[in-house]
Amino acid sequence: MANSESELNDNIHRDFYIPTYILAPDAPNKSRHIGLPDNVPTCPVLVFINSKSGGQLGGELLRTFRHLLNKYQVFDLGEEAPDSVLRRVYLNIEKLKSGGDQFAAKTEERMRIIVAGGDGTAGWLLGVVSDLKLSQPPPIATVPLGTGNNLPFAFGWGKKNPGTDLNSVISFLKQVMNAKEMKMDSWHILMRMRAPKGGSCDPIAPLELPHSLHAFHRVSPSDELNVEGFHTFRGGFWNYFSMGMDAQVSYAFHSERKMNPEKFKNQLVNQSAYLKLGCTQGWFFAPLVHRSSRNIAQLTKVKIMRKQGEWQDLHIPHSVRSIVCLNLPSFSGGLNPWGTPNSNKRRYRDLTPPFVDDGLLEVVGFRDAWHGLVLLAPKGHGTRLAQAHRIRFEFHKGAADHTFMRIDGEPWKQPLPEDDDTVVVEISHLGQVKMLATHDCRAKSIHDPSSHFNHEADDDDSDDENSVDEGRRKFGAADTFKIPDEVDVSRLS
């Protein structure tokens, strides 16, 4: 038994362990480990864990990783921000490399990052790695430790909270070592509006948006994006931007959770609360309670750019109350609103499957929660509106005093000036980040022949209009639309 435990420790040390002198040069009793490249760990990892995610699971996962690895390579995001960690580690690596340390150089080449938390936590790391502009940015694996877990699910890491015991963590580490690298697009979002004579048009959030999203902030007067007489905000996202009733329900849920956090400590309870709010906010009965003036087409003009420099108006059906701009094929707990267009739609509408690195966003519309249920049907999807490199929303003068927006699961209530028609939200391609993915993941790369879809097998691509009845019978799947199996519908009020 002792021998097997010793052998296990040797294997972990050989494959994943990073010496302290690379991670924390000022640590006491540091051991300088300079060896030949063959002695470099196969898969050196930096581990970032949100100890507050997943109830008690985040803290348990932190303890297990620190037991297995060097404590200096496992970081609690509640204690230290990832940008300060990565700056310190990579500055030290550069210093060591300049002194001829080949061990440090090879460690940098093989470095991988593991981040455990919700989508916001994962996006935080993605944003930091992008902003630091490292010469060799490490690819990132995501541990599903949140509620939606859309990022981990898209890249094959699952959507259920992971095991935190020794064997589960070792198994995950081995998956990371064998994972493939994939590129993923990132997106910049700009909001500009004329400075109001009174009041404020700052985005109002019910909670502090994660650093992940480069959450909206006003640009400085010296920023090239600043325009005199206007308020300009910028942000970014990895998975999706949505606007309309789905964001309104999400805003109500987050506001309620912020006011009464003690009521939202269980995933099933959270889903039930989300469902109730979906009903009380009118998402299931939108034609009866939702003013048509708040529908997307009546609220804003939408323009898209398919080819560089060529804007064109996008037709939005008048019944659409929610619009989603998707980067990943995983939305609201793992659903794919775009689906896979069949060969006819590819031919006549120039629609393609959803690749995560093609520089295109998929734009999908929903009328109400019942419409969302089509995602449960085979080949089900929302109303496919377009694929675009850039998207621009121009809000109509006086259409509404506010609307609801959401980035990667984080919602806010956005005030709109009633006497001005210059409110603009524009989304454009920003760059790419390196992800780690399992070999059978849902995310597909346009550059990987094995990722391409069978052109004939999906010729029965469903019509979303004809799939609603089947969706109604199944009643729910996404966070926005779902009633959990364990919830007694008759008891909901």
> Concatenated DSSP letters for 234-245?
EEEESSEEEEEH
Burial of 36 (0-12, 13-18, 19+ CB in 10 A): exposed
Q: Does any domain span residue 475?
A: no
Residues 343 and 419 in one domain: yes
- Torsions phi, psi for 418 (to 5 deg): -85, -15
Assess contact for 436 and 176: CB atoms under 8 A.
yes
Residues 291 and 207 in one domain: yes
The CB density around residue 211, as the number of other CB atoms within 10 Å, is 19
Which pLDDT belongs to residue 370?
A: 43
Residue numbers of the domain that contains 86: 1-178
Q: How far from 85 is each of 59, 73, 194, 429, CA to CA, in Å?
A: 19, 10, 39, 28
Residues 215 and 89 in one domain: no
Assess contact for 331 and 208: CB atoms under 8 A.
no
Q: Give, as one character, the DSSP assignment of residue 264.
A: -
Assess contact for 69 and 14: CB atoms under 8 A.
no
- Mean pLDDT of all residues in the chain? 76
pLDDT at 183 over 50: yes
Q: Does any domain span residue 156?
A: yes
Residue whose token pair is 């006497």: 419
Q: Select the more confidently predicted residue: 278 or 190.
A: 190
CATH number of the domain that residue 107 is part of: 3.40.50
Residues 271 and 148 in one domain: no
Would you place residue 460 in the very low, low, confident or very high pLDDT band (cuts 50, 70, 90)?
Answer: very low
Give tens-digit pLDDT for 279-309: 444 444 445 444 555 688 888 999 999 878 7
Which pLDDT belongs to residue 265?
A: 55
Q: Does any domain span residue 449?
A: no
Assess contact for 423 and 417: CB atoms under 8 A.
yes
Show which of 120, 154, 178 is a domain's final residue.
178
Residues 161 and 193 in one domain: no
Q: Does any domain span residue 461?
A: no
Tell me how far apart the alpha carbons of residues 213 and 413 are, in angstroms, rounded to a whole number.
17
Which pLDDT belongs to residue 281?
A: 44
Binning the chain into helix, strand and coil, the percentages to the nearest 5 are 35, 25, 40
Residues 266 and 242 in one domain: yes
Tell me how far apart the alpha carbons of residues 37 and 104 are, in angstroms, rounded to a whole number.
9
Residues 210 and 127 in one domain: no
Provide the β-strand partners of residue 180. Answer: 437
Q: Select the more confidently predicted residue: 73 or 250.
A: 73
> Concatenated DSSP letters for 382-420?
-EEEEEESEEEEEEPTTS-SEEEEEETTEEEEEE--TT-
For the chain, the domain total comes to 2
Residues 110 and 192 in one domain: no
Q: Select the more confidently predicted residue: 100 or 293.
A: 100
Tell me how far apart the alpha carbons of residues 131 and 430 are, in angstroms, rounded to a whole number.
11
Show which of 437, 460, 477 is a domain's final residue.
437
Q: Select the more confidently predicted residue: 401 or 374.
A: 401
Q: Does any domain span residue 483?
A: no
Residues 131 and 194 in one domain: no
Residues 218 and 171 in one domain: no
Which pLDDT belongs to residue 189?
A: 87
Q: Does any domain span residue 459?
A: no
pTM of full prediction above 0.75: yes
Tell me how far apart the alpha carbons of residues 290 and 486 are, in angstroms, rounded to a whole number.
29
| 38-52, 196-210, 253-267, 339-353: the lowest-pLDDT one | 196-210
Q: Does any domain span residue 481?
A: no
Residues 38 and 128 in one domain: yes
Residues 321 and 202 in one domain: yes
Would you place residue 154 in the very low, low, confident or very high pLDDT band (cuts 50, 70, 90)?
Answer: very high
Q: Does any domain span residue 450?
A: no
